[in-house]
Amino acid sequence: MLMFASGSMDKTVNVWRIGDGIAQSSECLQMTGTGRKSQGYSRMLVSDWSEEDVCDWLRDEGLEMLVDTFRAQNIDGTELISLNKETLDAYFKIESVGLRGKVMRKIEELRSSLMDCDVPDEFLCPVTRELMKDPVIAADGYSYEREALETWIRTPNHTSPMTNLPLQSSILTPNRSLKMAIQRWKASQ
């Protein structure tokens, strides 16, 4: 069994068993570093999603009315990203043009996110490893996603996520130049 482990300066360790999509935290938490409920499917490649992961994604995208239909068709991640308008028409019997269009837009967003793996590392929040929308500079000099760092600061330890040293201040300064660079990069994609 192949395993992958990653550690962070806050002394948490995540261990993944490669191939089965199971992630285990050393503290067995149901929360990610940002305080949001962990979504199992979001940590895996779409092609590795199970039928249940696809159903969870449908619910998260506001398409819960299609969960039973997708489950009946045994749609897993690989099948999901290969769906097209004709397949939806022929096999899913989605009569509402608006709903069919929404499903296709969500699938297209998913496909385009698969192609966005060349995001410059400096545009990713060090806590969430997601593209920053509202980058801020903390007292440690590093830039983070505002929501992630505000959640981090609310924890009792008040340390830097990057250095694990105490943060001298909880004041967050907007990083406008980084935000503009991210917006320029997104526009060029």
Q: What is the CATH number for 105?
A: 1.10.150.50
Bridge partners (DSSP) listed for residue 16 = 4, 23
Domain boundary among 115, 143, 171: 115
Q: Are residues 129 and 92 in the same domain?
A: no
Same domain, 94 and 56: yes
Looking at the structure, do residues 103 and 156 belong to the same domain, yes or no? no
Look at residues 90, 115, 140 and tell me which one is the last residue of a structural domain: 115
Any idea which of 19-23, 105-109, 148-152, 153-157 has the lowest mean pLDDT?
Answer: 19-23
pLDDT: is 23 or 87 the higher one?
87
Last residue of a domain, one of 115, 144, 164: 115
Task: Encode pLDDT of 144-182 as tens digits.
Answer: 999 999 998 888 878 999 999 999 998 999 999 999 999
The helix/strand count (H/E) of the chain reads as 7, 6
Same domain, 92 and 36: no
Cα 43 vs. chain centroid, distance in angstroms? 7
- Calculate the alpha carbon distances from 119 to 4, 97, 185, 188 in Å: 22, 34, 9, 12
Instruction: State the first-to-last Cα distance of the chain, in angstroms, to the nearest integer.
Output: 38
Angle at 23 between CA 151 and CA 2, to 5 degrees: 140
> What does DSSP assign to residue 173?
E
Residues 59 and 34 in one domain: no
Closest CA to 137 of 174, 112, 94, 83: 174
Q: Which domain holds residue 129?
A: 121-188
Return d(Cα 176, Cα 189) in angstroms, integer.
20
